[in-house]
Amino acid sequence: MTQVIIDTGIVEGAQVESRRGIPVMFFGGIPYAAPPVGPLRWREPHPVKPWEGVRDATAYASSAPQIVRGKGSFRDIIAQALNYEPANPRVFEYDEDCLYLNVFTPSLVTEKKLPVMFWVHGGAHRNGTGSAYPGQELAERGVVLVTINYRLGPLGFMSHPELTAEGCRGNQGLLDTLYALQWVQRNIAHFGGDKDNVTVFGESAGGHSTIAMFTSPLSQGLIHRAIAQSGVGAHAVQLLDKPGAIPISAHDTGETLGAFLGCKTGIGQLDAMRQLSADEIIQKTATLPIPGVIIDGYCQVKNPMTIIREGRHNDIPLMIGSNAYEGSALYWGSPMPQMTLCQDVETYLAEFQRFFGEDYDEAIKLYPASDQTEMVLSSKEMCGDSLFCAPTRAVAQALADQGKTCFPYYFTQTPEGDTEGKLGAFHAMEIGYVFGSDFLSPLSRDSDRKLSDMMMRYWINFATNGNPNGEGLPKWSEFNSNADQWLELNDSVGMKPIASASKYNVVMKGIDRHIAQAAQ
């Protein structure tokens, strides 16, 4: 057992091994904020009360309350499509007392000053846990890896006029992330890490959170590099206390949520909502749309695309990318019926008209829907392009125009077992390659293991010095708007032209219309 003294007490971790049998030290379930329960529900994170004696940190702690799906979940759909049986699936515990983090480190020598990689998990800001990601493969290569749990869904992204009066505008999950980054500043040296070299990285909602950190004034000095995997947050347009691109404010959404839960609107509604159990709130709101990240004028001052284009982001290097077929198992036309947004061609066309406005004719030529089959194919492609690919390129363009450092990638590896080509390089597939593990698909082929090794080296090089390039790796050039290229990650890694650039231009017209409405 290994003990470390941090600012709130002593923690005792354990030794784990990488696939190659290299020992790494693991510290799990370290509290970085007080339990957000009772009067602290929906409040900004508060300090941890110090403990006496030695705290057991040999196992993960509880994850944020959420709807737990087995059969029919995203992971299950992927496994079925690939005819893949994940080995020893872990069972997680869930509780409102969830603000914990985990540390994987190859050394506890303070003088080592190893680069720190701070992972924010995905899950649409409604699901997921930092405890699902094995960190020993990255840590054995010379970094300190931190993974966190943060509040999710209606408990982690809820605004309310009474809550604003208490001093918290919402975006609790982002405030949790910032609080965990502050913990890193105070304590990571005790785990061999360098507090002045912290890379925040995440995927999907975690990628959105990464960009939120990249653009938030509150993270200045807490992060020194950022890696956003399939997540920008360009669609984050709901305003705190007035309508905009979304016709109701976040305050309105919070009051409507309270009424739906049976709590009378008006003075005292928030207190009544705090009397409900976390499970009741999660279960009853399972089918309700939750706004996620909002523009609160504090943590998120404006839409992240606006902040980046105005040059008001943190002046740090950024790596950003997306996957080739993000929409194959996600949202529109999804194999998961409960997540399908467009049920028929008429709905699809109406949504396109709303989204693109005067650019509708140009857009529908690129994403046609003459019948149901074509609509499903186009909607999957549109999902990936609008949520991930087009905003990724737009961010790279904006930063390049400012002379800032940005390394964009495009992951196109096809999973083994996808014999009919239904999934392709699906959403979140790259995570296993970054972590060197069989996360959603097995790294069973030599080509998969080789690509994983290269990606881990790119990611660690970037976390070390802000440049992913290194000996034996194909050259990864910074983005240049004239060249309009990104690094393609597959069996043949190299810089490639952005083939769908003209489509992305059209998609960004629709996105920019809604961003403009949010700025009014």
Asked if the structure places residue 11 within a domain, the reply is no
Residues recognised as catalytic: 204, 326, 427
Task: Tell me what the mean pLDDT of segment 170-183 comes to.
Answer: 98
User: In the numeric block, which tokens belong to residue 277?
Assistant: 């159990």
pLDDT in tens, 46-56: 999 999 999 99
pLDDT at 87 over 70: no
Which residues neighbour 10 within 8 Å (Cβ) at sequence distance 6 or greater? 3, 4, 53, 54, 55
More confident of the two residues 508 and 83 = 508
pLDDT at 338 over 50: no
Asked if the structure places residue 422 within a domain, the reply is yes
β partners of residue 410: 322, 488
pLDDT at 72 over 80: no
More confident of the two residues 216 and 291 = 216
Asked if the structure places residue 5 within a domain, the reply is no
pLDDT of residue 376: 84
Task: Tell me what the mean pLDDT of segment 350-363 comes to.
Answer: 90
pLDDT exceeding 90 applies to what percent of the chain?
A: 77
pLDDT at 194 over 60: yes
pLDDT at 150 over 60: yes
Collapsing DSSP to helix, strand or coil, 153 comes out as: helix
Q: What is the mean pLDDT of the chain?
A: 92
pLDDT of residue 16: 95
pLDDT of residue 68: 83
Task: Tell me what the mean pLDDT of segment 82-94 comes to.
Answer: 75
Structural domain containing residue 107: 65-89+96-518
Amino acid 155 reads L
The model's confidence at residue 334, banded by pLDDT at 50, 70 and 90, is very low
The model's confidence at residue 89, banded by pLDDT at 50, 70 and 90, is low
pLDDT of residue 73: 72
Asked if the structure places residue 83 within a domain, the reply is yes
pLDDT at 283 over 70: yes
Task: Tell me what the mean pLDDT of segment 143-165 comes to.
Answer: 97
pLDDT at 516 over 90: no
Of 174-183, 284-293, 323-332, 482-491, the range with the lowest mean pLDDT is 323-332
The number of beta carbons lying within 10 Å of the beta carbon of residue 290 is: 18
The model's confidence at residue 408, banded by pLDDT at 50, 70 and 90, is very high
pLDDT in tens, 21-54: 999 999 999 999 999 999 999 999 999 999 999 9
Total domains in the chain come to 1
Asked if the structure places residue 486 within a domain, the reply is yes
Asked if the structure places residue 21 within a domain, the reply is no
Task: Tell me what the mean pLDDT of segment 485-492 comes to.
Answer: 97
pLDDT of residue 246: 86
pLDDT in tens, 250-260: 999 999 999 99
**Which of 308, 338, 295 minimizes the C-alpha distance to 77?**
338
The model's confidence at residue 336, banded by pLDDT at 50, 70 and 90, is very low
pLDDT at 106 over 50: yes
**Alpha helices (H) in 25-139, listed in sequence order:** 74-82, 136-139
Asked if the structure places residue 200 within a domain, the reply is yes
The model's confidence at residue 337, banded by pLDDT at 50, 70 and 90, is very low
Domain of 459: which CATH number? 3.40.50.1820
pLDDT at 419 over 70: no
Asked if the structure places residue 505 within a domain, the reply is yes
pLDDT at 333 over 50: no
**Which of 235, 246, 279 minimizes the C-alpha distance to 386?**
235
Residues 321 and 172: their CA atoms lie apart, in Å, by 26
pLDDT at 107 over 80: yes
The model's confidence at residue 355, banded by pLDDT at 50, 70 and 90, is confident
Instruction: Kindly tell me the sign of the dihedral angle through the C-alpha atoms of 64, 65, 68, 74.
Output: negative
Which residues neighbour 133 within 8 Å (Cβ) at sequence distance 6 or greater? 119, 121, 147, 431, 435, 439
pLDDT exceeding 70 applies to what percent of the chain?
A: 95
Which residues neighbour 5 within 8 Å (Cβ) at sequence distance 6 or greater? 190
Residues 357 and 368: their CA atoms lie apart, in Å, by 16
Task: Tell me what the mean pLDDT of segment 94-110 comes to.
Answer: 95
